[in-house]
Amino acid sequence: MHSIIKLILIPVSVICILSANANGQQSSEDASKNLTKYVKVKLEADLSHLSQNQKKMIPLLIEAASEMDEAFWKQAYGDPTELKQTVTSEALKKHIEINYGPWERLQENRPFISGQSAKPLGANFYPNDMSKEEFEAAVIAAPELKDLYTMVRRNPKTKELYTIPYSDFFQTEFKSAAAKLREAAELAEDDGFRAYLLARSKALLSNQYQPSDFAWMDMKSNDIDIVIGPIETYEDQLYGYKAACESYVLIKDLSWSERLTKYAAMLPELQKGLPVADKYKQETPGTNSDLNAYDVIFYAGDCNSGSKTIAINLPNDEEVQLKKGSRRLQLKNAMQAKFDQILVPIAKLLIVPDQQKHITFNAFFSNTMFHEVAHGLGIKNTITGKGRVREALRETSSALEEGKADILGLYMVSKLLEQGEITEGTLEDYYVTFMAGIFRSVRFGASSAHGKANMIRFNFFKDRGAFTRNEAGQYRVNMDKMKLAIAQLSDQILQLQGNGDYEAARNFAENMGFVGEILKADLERVNQRGIPTDIVFDQGMKALNLK
């Protein structure tokens, strides 16, 4: 018997939040024109199947995760005390909490509080008065300025840039989180989970995360999991160098996980068949990868800001990936909420009626799953001697990587259907559901790597006739042209990554990563229907009915 997680969708409490005009000012006109809507989801769990020790661990893991919330605030904005005190509107206070600052993440980071300036591209990872030229000149003498786990600050006397390790900058938060992880480790009944908790607690205090990444990869059988620490680099839109703090507390879905186990072993063969020249696929993906489905019971920090994550592919450390592979965690309950409340209503509005039957949760789940699997395909290191792809492509890296994962995920679906490895649904199910998913994700805006990737893909598909739009504003997938466009876009992105050509990548993103007038009008129709943009959570100990 495995856990049952319930997502209670509360339609009467859809949260309508005011966005702002170009000057950051609120007005009654804005209230009627610009609304970001979030449907509230209550995360509940039936924990009756867990042992007493496992039940005791959950509060400790949630407390540890909550410390990442405090750390992420400092990375994304700084101390929010004064900001929160200046706002009296409950709606705006909630909006500040959702966005971890006064900028609307799902509307190009526009300020929604009067008097606020534009959000710094480097968030609060770097001094606000630092120029890119200054940083790049300083890196020559001090390459540690690019380190993932450091904050960059300016010496007030010499004006020089220097770094503060996260373990020092977030000493209060990280010490507390580490202590909670050690307490949880004392209760752990699974040896691998205990080893991971202890390794991760050490990492928070030492700034050395690779050993705990290896320990996490070696943990196979525990039904409870926690992802915690500085992980993704999306928040750093200046360079993509700095990892943002976040955490998830998770319960494994045993029945769905069993369905996914066979795919990890197929990665090397899928890598060989990628639609790109051989020199761009010489790396061999690790085969120790796990594919599992989880129900998430707590989000904190980066993953809880703006649009909510529905799948995880970790660790990001390229050395760990090449030696051990990675773990792909599908957050099934969050996926189901977004599918039911957002994707299906969008599809009914924007997909031609005779293709709407191809919108299925199985296709949505599988497309998302293979997106995460596809992060392990392609290339991690440039073939031109420019080092790792992530560093060579700088701030363009995240959007291209997300675009690669999306498009190679579809490539994988096509191949596995042909081979009979996937037996549920038809290729049209996956393609049409994917097309509807573009309209869902593009609403996240260009400030999101996922939103930018969807803009690029929509325009690429449009240029190649992969879909058509009728006079009623409904879209039809052209199956043959879609399949060809998938291969062409895969080839282009893999070459950009392999070559490590920053200028070419930036030009590609700028030329393709925009929302045209017709798409903009269609998205406005979606907004006018009152379809939520994303979800927010009623979560934690109270939601779980734990004291």
The domain tally of the chain equals 1
Q: Is residue 547 part of a domain?
A: no
pLDDT of 26: 44
| Rounded CA separation 400/506 (Å) | 10
Q: Does some domain include residue 543?
A: no
pLDDT tens figures, 238-272: 999 999 999 999 988 877 777 777 776 777 888 88
Mean pLDDT of the chain: 87
Domain annotation covers residue 388: yes
Q: Is residue 545 part of a domain?
A: no
- Please tell me the predicted confidence (pLDDT) of residue 8: 46
What is the residue range of 342's domain?
A: 4-538
**pLDDT at residue 32, rounded to an integer:** 26
pLDDT band, very low/low/confident/very high, at 19 (cuts 50, 70, 90): very low
With respect to residue 111, please indicate whether it lies within any of the assigned structural domains. Answer: yes
Q: What is the mean pLDDT of residues 352-369?
A: 94
Beta-ladder partners of 476: 468
Q: Confirm whether 544 is domain-assigned.
A: no
3-state helix, strand, coil in the chain (%, to 5): 50, 15, 35
Return the residue matching tokens 């392609």. Answer: 378
Instruction: Determine, yes or no, domain membership for 199.
Output: yes
**Confidence at residue 139, expressed as pLDDT on a 0 to 100 scale:** 97
Planar angle of CA 474, 480, 486, nearest 5 degrees: 90
Per-residue pLDDT at 45: 66
Q: For residue range 151-166, what is the model confidence (pLDDT) as tens digits? A: 999 999 999 999 999 9
**pLDDT tens string 429-473:** 999 999 999 998 888 765 566 778 888 999 999 999 999 999 999
Within 8 A by CB and 6+ apart from 497, the residues are 280, 378, 379, 382, 389, 393, 400, 401, 404, 505
43 and 333 Cβ atoms separated by less than 8 Å: yes
- Whether 182 and 202 have beta carbons less than 8 Å apart is answered as no
Q: Is residue 471 part of a domain?
A: yes
- Residue 286: which pLDDT band, with cuts at 50, 70 and 90? low
